[in-house]
Amino acid sequence: MGQHVSRQTEAESKLVGLLAEFPTPEALVSAAEQVREEGYRRIDAFTPFPVHGLDEALAIRPTILPWVVLGAGLTGVVAALAGQWWTNTIDYPFVVSGKPLFSLPANIPVTFEVIILFSAFTAFFGMLALNGLPRLAQPIFRSERFAGRRRIVSSCWSRRRTPGSRSRRRARF
């Protein structure tokens, strides 16, 4: 039989990050703090359960998604009320039994539904955008040590593109 030649491209064979496993959650948190102190900024951790203190160790910032959803809800209020006001008073004024052309209580149900519609779509698509999804190729999933784990293992992942990362720092990691 002939030699088996790998058809991996040069881009696939490059180092894309460092992956380490830790036996306990405490060891993971400690290692994440040390990695941050070394100057790495693009790090992540994978655990099968929540680990208290890991967010602080990774310096994960709070998300802006709730504020974006609030803005979408307020935009829904303005859009719904303006649309109903325009329709009832300008576009098609219709006086019924001497009632006013625009009455806020009559327009609350539609306004509520538009708030929910705008907020739900913003939350869904905002979550996808802020998380960088859909991510079709994550290099860590190609690792034999990471894929197909059956036991409980905590992992820490650092991407190579961290500004200022050099070979000697990777060797210390």
pLDDT tens digit sequence for 19-33: 788 888 899 899 989
User: d(Cα 71, Cα 50) in Å, to the nearest integer?
Assistant: 30
Residue 4 scores a pLDDT above 50: no
pLDDT band for position 97 (cuts 50, 70, 90): confident
**3-state DSSP of the chain:** CCCCCCCCCHHHHCCCEEEEEECCHHHHHHHHHHHHHCCCCCEEEECCCCCCCHHHHHCCCCCCHHHHHHHHHHHHHHHHHHHHHHHHHHHCCCCCCCCCCCCHHHHHHHHHHHHHHHHHHHHHHHHHHHCCCCCCCCHHHHCCCCCCCCCCCEEEEEECCCCCCCHHHHHHC
What is the arithmetic mean of pLDDT over 38-45? 84
Residue 135 scores a pLDDT above 50: yes
Residue 17 near residue 139, CB atoms below 8 Å: yes
Share of the chain above pLDDT 90, in %: 39
- 1-15, 72-86, 135-149: which is most confident: 72-86
Q: What's the pLDDT at 121? A: 98
Q: What's the pLDDT at 170? A: 53
Q: What's the pLDDT at 122? A: 98
Residue 128 scores a pLDDT above 70: yes
Q: What's the pLDDT at 1? A: 41
